[in-house]
Structure 1
Amino acid sequence: MKLKYGETSFDISMPPERLRGEIAASPAVPATSPEELIAEAIEGCASVIASFKASDRVVIITSDVTRYTGSEVYLPILVNRLNLAGIDDSRIEIIIALGIHRKQTEAEHRRILGPLFGRIKVTDHECDDPGKLVYLGKTSGGVEVEINRTVAEADRVILTGTIGFHYFAGFGGGRKSILPGVASRKSCMASHFAVLNPGEGAGKNPKAVTGNLEENPVHQAMADACAMVEPAFILNTVLGPGKRIIACFAGDWATAFADGCRFYGEQFSYHLKEKADLVLVSCGGFPKDINLIQAHKSMEYASQAIRDGGVMILLAECRDGYGNATFFDWFRYQELSAFESRLRSHYEINGQTAYSLLWKAQSFRIILVSALPPEEVRTMGMTPARSLVEAMAVAEGLLPDDFAAYVIPEGGTVLPVLS
């Protein structure tokens, strides 16, 4: 078996008796084409679309290039369906849900819109321009919701994107198109801050975890904000092997999203009978391991398969470093209590990721095979290695003689679940 690393790979060299199994998702891929799946899902919204007026200003929200959704496939089908309902192209605008990300280039707009580029107006959301934001109110948890003015003033809003696991919002997709997608920086930060329990030293909320929406305060903040907008409907894809669209959920923003999450959880979870001493995980190669922030997703999911004090070998090239200029700076706090205190007083979304990484580095023994400077890897609480052979040699010195291991070839797409 080969494990991807950047644009290369490593061969696994481990006695078969050590391997407890390979953890991988095996979603059902339908014979139906992606275009047919999308058209069928949109047709399920026919009664809602029939209520649109020709004079309505319609805003479609979609994701930026950091989250591939299949937008170049579904946006043309959606817009053409609106045209059939009497909505002219001039009454439709596509807003890119950047959150706090950078603006998109023209080439990136082309990739997102596909054949619609140059036909339908497209605008990047701006989270820091007060003149382009509108205050809607507070969520049940006290998050002040400010969103894109064009979205707030539209007659009809349609949310599009893709459903997948999210390590503290439970799932991505659905309501995330509004918050953080088209929200102010202040609102984005406040919604993510909900991951922490109220009170100094109270730590992370145990409900704010991968694959869980129930009583998840981050999800609740996002759902409350979405309810303020009252979207006409959502259209969310589910992507399978090779980023192929294998399912599409459209309809009421809450129920269609819940159905999609249920489907995704069933298709992309892997049930374990027991945890292992060693988990060897690859992010899946470039671009999934382009930086450490992206690689953390694989680290988070794989940690669910390791026993307390066990060892993880993570293959993540990180050719672009950390993925954020201030990410590594957070590791000047080596004690979790001091880290948490600083995070509460100077919250950053990437600081939350750094905190999560340090927690895992102190709960397990993580050997990172990457291109990052070894001394910086050690500062983050991990052991550096340059190859899988080197990493295995280090791991064997930390493991019991009778250790057992799991291998995860695509760490960012499967969630191990202890049955």
Structure 2
Amino acid sequence: MARNGIELAYGRGALHLTLPDEAEPTVIRKAVLPKLPDNAAAVRHAFDQPIGAKPLRELARGRKSACILICDITRPVPNRLFLRPMVETMVESGIPLDRITILVATGLHRPNLGEELAEVVGDPWVMANVRVENHYARNTEDHVDLGPTRTRGTPVSINRILVEADLRIATGLVEPHFMAGWSGGRKVVAPGVAGHATIRTFHSARFMEDPLAIQCNLVGNPLHEEQLEIVRMVGELYALNTVIDEDRDLVHVTFGEIIQSHLAAVGFIEHATRIKVGRRFKTVVTSSAGYPLDKTYYQTVKGMVTPIDILEPGGTLIIASRCSEGFGSPEFREAQARLVELGPERFLATLTAKSLAEIDEWQTEMQLKPMRVGRIQLYTEGLDQEELRITGVEIIRSVDAAIADSVTRHGDGAVAIIPEGPYVVPVHEVG
């Protein structure tokens, strides 16, 4: 790639970079994975050759109802490729169409409605023929109380539609997640369709400050372990897991028992996504992975966290995020305002004594991690002046100018560039 042909994922397009002459770029991408020659055949094969389970057509026989979980707008899951064949297989096996519900696993995010819901579902036939509902974590009456987890005492309540369904299937995208290790699988259940107290408990500081609660790690990760216990409490659960490339094309799909099928998808993608880098950099340039992840500043924080292992202490991390939908929830806005008012140390001190985190303040807590390492600079076009102020980071008007300034300031032309943001996890390993 030509040195000045580098682009960052930004909004629905890309941000072209023009580097200074003295810059020596290292572009860090996922390994190139072969595209599937026939998406429909791959989905059918996953249904027919599941992992740790019977084929979907057999699982559906004798069932009276089904619930299919799908991710919300923040993740580009290719639902259009598998929802209709999944529903049709269920109907062919005897489940009445009017007893099948698709439930959008919003967690504590806002609901997806109207045209946005149609975009998430991705299939007009499904929208016209299948009941589609959003999860509302704050509606206590919508949930079934399953009691506390044994290990850490998290109170567990899960959406009644899922719990009471005869056949339960989670669907999602397997990609690095900056606190739970990997997205998809068990994470679509909790926090996806969990009650607010469940989500707020395992997003409290005692989980979030654990050094093993990081991207690409499941071993000893307290969030992952809690999610595993929660799905076991729910009972019989299956999952369809997808992996996509930079073009958002399907490269892998698994179906089966929720834990085993998810681990199989992780095993496929982890070596392509977790990229070993032999040095640290004083200038790191990244993105929030473009649309839909860079719709809000809330989601942008993920892109700040994933590259910190290769950021030289005292270095500069430059991130570009469109923030086309603005800042995020009112609760996140309030947490960011407290961060700016109190400063990082005092803000963290207000969190550590809580057993129940305030909604969305955990994202502000995660922002503290890159702030401890170096200088964070943000390029965006979607925030107003007050929102820019409460980001708590330095606002830049030009990514190109910021790169040139950082190279000069640090006296080091080496620049790490991560075009796809948090979908790629660079890890500092020598040798």
TM-score by length of 2: 0.87
Matched, 1:386 2:397: yes
Q: Is residue 104–residue 135 contact of structure 2 (8 Å, CA) maintained in 1?
A: yes
Alpha-carbon shift at residue 378 of structure 1 (Å): 6.5
* Range moving further from structure 2, 380-389 or 291-300: 380-389
Which residue of 84, 90, 103 corresponds with 2:92? 84
Alpha-carbon shift at residue 135 of structure 1 (Å): 0.6
Alpha-carbon shift at residue 49 of structure 1 (Å): 4.1
Which residue of 32, 44, 50 corresponds with 1:39? 44
Mapped to 2, the partners of 1:103 and 1:217 lie a distance apart of 27
- What SS does structure 1 have at the residue aligned with 2:86? helix
Deviations 1:149-203 (A, max 9, x none): 122122221111111111101111101121111111111111222x525xxxxx7
Q: Is residue 35–residue 249 contact of structure 2 (8 Å, CA) maintained in 1?
A: no
Map residues 207-286 of structure 1 onto 2, 5 A cutoff.
Answer: 207-286=212-291
Alpha-carbon shift at residue 397 of structure 1 (Å): 4.6
Closer, same or farther: CA 308–110 of 1 in aligned 2, 3 Å = same
Deviations 1:274-298 (A, max 9, x none): 1112112233445443332222222
Which residue of 313, 332, 340 corresponds with 1:308? 313
Mapped to 1, the partners of 2:171 and 2:390 lie a distance apart of 40
* Range moving further from structure 2, 215-224 or 388-397: 388-397
Deviations 1:8-62 (A, max 9, x none): 634322336x425211113312342221111111111344642544352221111
Closer, same or farther: CA 332–418 of 1 in aligned 2, 3 Å = closer
Mapped to 2, the partners of 1:213 and 1:51 lie a distance apart of 28
Alpha-carbon shift at residue 403 of structure 1 (Å): 4.2
Q: Is residue 301–residue 412 contact of structure 1 (8 Å, CA) maintained in 2?
A: yes
Alpha-carbon shift at residue 330 of structure 1 (Å): 2.9
Deviations 1:105-152 (A, max 9, x none): 233333316121221222222222232211112112110101111221
Map residues 368-379 of structure 1 onto 2, 5 A cutoff.
Answer: 368-371=378-381, 372=383
Q: Is residue 48–residue 232 contact of structure 1 (8 Å, CA) maintained in 2?
A: no
* Range moving further from structure 2, 171-180 or 82-91: 82-91
Mapped to 2, the partners of 1:238 and 1:158 lie a distance apart of 17
Partner of 2:82: 74
Long gaps (5+) in structure 1 = 198-202
Query: Could you tell me the percent identity over the aligned residues?
Result: 25
Mapped to 1, the partners of 2:323 and 2:60 lie a distance apart of 47
Closer, same or farther: CA 407–104 of 1 in aligned 2, 3 Å = closer
CA RMSD in angstroms comes to 2.5
Matched, 1:65 2:73: yes
Q: Is residue 295–residue 325 contact of structure 2 (8 Å, CA) maintained in 1?
A: yes
Partner of 1:350: 360
Long gaps (5+) in structure 2 = none
Matched, 1:119 2:129: yes
Q: Is residue 36–residue 252 contact of structure 2 (8 Å, CA) maintained in 1?
A: no
- What SS does structure 2 have at the residue aligned with 1:87? coil
Partner of 1:160: 171
Q: Is residue 358–residue 381 contact of structure 1 (8 Å, CA) maintained in 2?
A: no
Letter in 2 for 1:95: L
Partner of 1:412: 422
Q: Is residue 34–residue 244 contact of structure 1 (8 Å, CA) maintained in 2?
A: no
- What SS does structure 2 have at the residue aligned with 1:412? helix
Q: Is residue 169–residue 210 contact of structure 1 (8 Å, CA) maintained in 2?
A: yes
Closer, same or farther: CA 132–417 of 1 in aligned 2, 3 Å = same
Mapped to 1, the partners of 2:389 and 2:135 lie a distance apart of 38
- What SS does structure 1 have at the residue aligned with 2:202? helix
Which residue of 121, 130, 138 corresponds with 1:128? 138
Number of equivalenced pairs: 411
Letter in 2 for 1:338: R
Mapped to 2, the partners of 1:64 and 1:360 lie a distance apart of 26
